[in-house]
Amino acid sequence: MPTLKNLFLNSLVSLIFIACALLHPVVSMQETGWLLNFTLLIIIHLLVLKQLWQQPKLGFVSVWHDPLVRSFIGYLSVLAYGMIMGWYHNNFYMMSQASFNFLIFLPLCALPLLFKDATTYKKYANFWLLLAGLSLIFLIIYVWVKYDFTTIRLTNYDIRTTYPWLLTTIILPAALLYKYPKHSFKFLWLLLIISSFIAIVLTNTRTYLCSAVLGFGFVSFYYFRKKLHRSNVIIYSVIIIGSTLVLLVSEPHLRHISYNGLNRLTFSYFNLKQAKPLPTSTAMPLNTNADWLDTLDNFSNGRLENEWASAYQRWQQASLVEKFLGIGIGSTFKTHQGESQNYIHNILLYCLVYYGILGTFLCLLFYWRLVQSLWRLASVSDSARVVGMLGLLLALLAFAQLFPIYNLLPFNLSLSIIISFAFLPQFFKPKTLG
């Protein structure tokens, strides 16, 4: 039976996840969401700090020997430096950028300390992520019913539909389903996975769908390698893929959206190969090359040449110090179309431009150590929830490579929970990690 303390903590963190799932970009609603989040986070921060103070075994010298901890400190240094550079350049817009959004959730990385064992924490953390994903599914259904989006994408009506919570309701239930095929919740897990795939298709966001398929494919491959679970993977994968395809084909609106998405993904690629090259002179008015712009809009919304090339050119033109340390969060660059922009649909290029060569190296090192630690923990503990977190991490990074979700609260909140899983060996004895 869960203790009263665990129920209290679960209620607090659940509210945070729901608020982040439904936090609307409109200012009036955003102020309410921020107030709720900060109030709850302050309480959790104080509880975590109190518990850390009472943990003598977590001495700095002993923890420093863990490569993940060292890379994590380097990662935090990069984020802190990016914030300082943003303040130096008076770029207060950085309050909504990746550094700040992650640092406010930093104490959640030590959240397992508030629970008596690793198993209890993993169950609660799994519940929080699924709760956020379920909230987003209901939001997408609500927007779908309320608006007519036969000609306009669903994401144009509500930006929240691109929040990456649906990755959690696909990848985490899939890991549990493969590991526990006879569990009493197996039909609920199946329903969550299929509903999430349908919801992603409704958003008509190619990157979202590809990231979900990547995470789902990783979890499926992980358990397919094990002979004990191979038949479960085959059976449930066929059920999930088959049911999703049947629903997409049988329902007229879903069929229309699926066709449009497939058309954007395939036919525009062949048109791109026939497109004229990007004008070498940035002074040339790009509106004179309508065919080139139309082709890029069809394939990548102009990001490949208009945004990515411009951001990389801004880094090339920076001073030697800025190339090494970054230009500072919030600083803008000019796109080829002449617009000022301070975000990039590519997390790797974002790190290079705003954190520099040093920051990019430290970020990549941390992500690599995080993957290593989760893989090692999954092998030792044989925990489906840890495997799910590893698949979720890969899917989030893939999504961030083509979409600026790294600036959003849901991405950084999910990342802090994933990091807390990787730190479980620091908080609990090895035999209790299963």
pLDDT in tens, 196-236: 998 888 888 888 999 999 999 999 999 999 888 889 899 99
Cα–Cα distance, 434 to 432 (Å, whole number): 6
- Specify the pTM: 0.86
Q: Please calculate the CA angle 262-266-268 and round it to the nearest 5 degrees.
A: 110
Has residue 181 been placed in a domain?
yes
In angstroms, the first-to-last Cα distance of the chain is 19
> Which whole number is the average pLDDT over 310-336?
83
Select the more confidently predicted residue: 327 or 349.
Answer: 349
Asked whether residue 350 carries a pLDDT value surpassing 80, the answer given is yes
Q: What is the pLDDT of residue 149?
A: 59
Has residue 73 been placed in a domain?
no
Q: What is the pLDDT of residue 145?
A: 76
Has residue 82 been placed in a domain?
no
Three-class SS of residue 340? strand
Highest-pLDDT range among 46-50, 259-263, 349-353: 349-353
Cα–Cα distance, 343 to 86 (Å, whole number): 13
Cα–Cα distance, 373 to 423 (Å, whole number): 8
Find where tokens 């969401």 sit.
Answer: 33
> Which whole number is the average pLDDT over 367-380?
93
Asked whether residue 273 carries a pLDDT value surpassing 50, the answer given is no
> Which whole number is the average pLDDT over 315-320?
87
Q: Which domain holds residue 14?
A: 4-51+89-260+344-432
Asked whether residue 418 carries a pLDDT value surpassing 70, the answer given is yes
Cα–Cα distance, 409 to 33 (Å, whole number): 11
Q: pLDDT category, 291, cuts 50, 70, 90?
A: very low
Asked whether residue 146 carries a pLDDT value surpassing 50, the answer given is yes
What is the CA 433 to chain-centroid distance, rounded? 25
Has residue 68 been placed in a domain?
no
Asked whether residue 53 carries a pLDDT value surpassing 60, the answer given is yes
Q: What is the pLDDT of residue 290?
A: 41
CB 375 within 8 Å of CB 425? no
Please state the domain count of the chain.
1
CB 354 within 8 Å of CB 360? no
Asked whether residue 337 carries a pLDDT value surpassing 80, the answer given is no
Cα–Cα distance, 392 to 219 (Å, whole number): 9
> Directed axis angle between helix 67-88 and helix 347-381, to 10°?
160
Has residue 69 been placed in a domain?
no
Q: pLDDT category, 171, cuts 50, 70, 90?
A: very high
Average pLDDT over the chain reads 79
Cα–Cα distance, 39 to 35 (Å, whole number): 6
Task: Convert the pLDDT of each residue in 87-126 to its tens digit.
Answer: 776 665 544 466 777 777 888 888 888 888 888 888 888 8
Has residue 144 been placed in a domain?
yes
> Which whole number is the average pLDDT over 62-75?
81
Has residue 310 been placed in a domain?
no
Asked whether residue 15 carries a pLDDT value surpassing 50, the answer given is yes
Query: Which has the minimum average pLDDT: 40-44, 65-69, 207-211, 369-373?
Result: 40-44
Has residue 271 been placed in a domain?
no
Q: pLDDT category, 27, cuts 50, 70, 90?
A: very low
Cα–Cα distance, 373 to 367 (Å, whole number): 10
Q: What is the pLDDT of residue 98?
A: 64
> Which whole number is the average pLDDT over 168-185?
92
